[in-house]
A and B are shown apart, each in its own frame.
Chain A
Amino acid sequence: MRENLLFRDKEIAFLRELTRNKVPFMVVGLSAAALQGAPMVTQDVDLWFRNIDHPGIRKALKKLDGVLVPPLGLNPPMFAGDHVDCFDIVLTVHGVKSFDEEIKGACEVSMGKFTIKVLPLDRVIASKTFLNRQKDRMALPALRSAKKALSQ
């Protein structure tokens, strides 16, 4: 198993570089839920960007020897490189409001020496409820139970 699969210093460094370069982004999906405490399982860390052309993204990628793979046909844009390929680029989150509205209510989660914005658990639930794919339906009961536990 490659080292970067376990989210080590380099992956954290990428988030730090995005923050340092003032890139507007937030963590969404099950990674967002996990960061807040929900015991979820996920393959990737979904990062919702306001604008994928923000120059800070390229700067952050350069620092971590990563590159941006532009979209092609049905293939969405992606990050490539050992320390950034666990991150998925998200440009639209269904079932919630716009990026600018959601980021106002985003949670600040500590990554040690810096913080990142994370979509709150109830908004993750709203998105999964809207999408209603099989994998969303499977995750929803656990997300709702975690929400109850966290709201106590």
Chain B
Amino acid sequence: MRISSEKLRTLCRDRRIQLKDLLKEAGVSRTAYYSLTRKESVLPKSVCRVAQQLGVSPSLFLVEEDEAVRRIRVLQARTGEICRRHPGCDRDVVFRTLLNLDSTPVERLRKALSRARKPAIQG
């Protein structure tokens, strides 16, 4: 499994972000990225060997990360995007706002009220 630069650039375009900004945000150097794009496989050699031994593609026994983790990753990416466009924004607030959008308005209000009623948080 290798990196498709073309697909990655399309994803960047969809999110209105430049590849160099994506790499910076992700903490990946350009050198590391271009080195990865030249590799036949970005998977560890041991994984490829197991797949070869089985005569199957590694994708057959690799699983996606947990749905909840993936959702958080998506929100983190969106948060990064918003904070890049609006440098004055509080990253945590932006993230929590996006996370709240997964809840119903009533749940959001409950959260706001219950947090305020906890003495430890009220300080």
Contacts and interface: CB of A to CB of B under 8 A. Distances in A.
Interface stretch (A39-47, A58-66, A73-81): A39-47
Contact of A31 (B78, B100, B112, B114): B112
Most buried by B among A1, A31, A36, A39: A39
Contacts of A111: 105-106
A148 B89 contact: yes
A72 interface: no
A91 B95 CA distance: 33
A150 B98 CA distance: 7
Interface of B: 78-79, 81-82, 85-86, 88-90, 93-94, 96-101, 104-106, 108-117, 121
A1 B106 contact: no
Interface in A20-65: 30-31, 34-43, 45
Contacts, number: 96
A114 to B, nearest CB: 11
B117 A34 contact: no
Interface of A: 1, 5-7, 12, 30-31, 34-43, 45, 86, 109-112, 141-142, 144-146, 148-150, 152
A141 to B, nearest CB: 6
Contact of A142 (B86, B90, B104): B90
B116 A31 contact: no
B112 A145 contact: no
A11 B82 CA distance: 35
Contact of B114 (A6, A30, A36): A6
A34 B90 CA distance: 16
Contact of B112 (A34, A109, A110, A112): A34
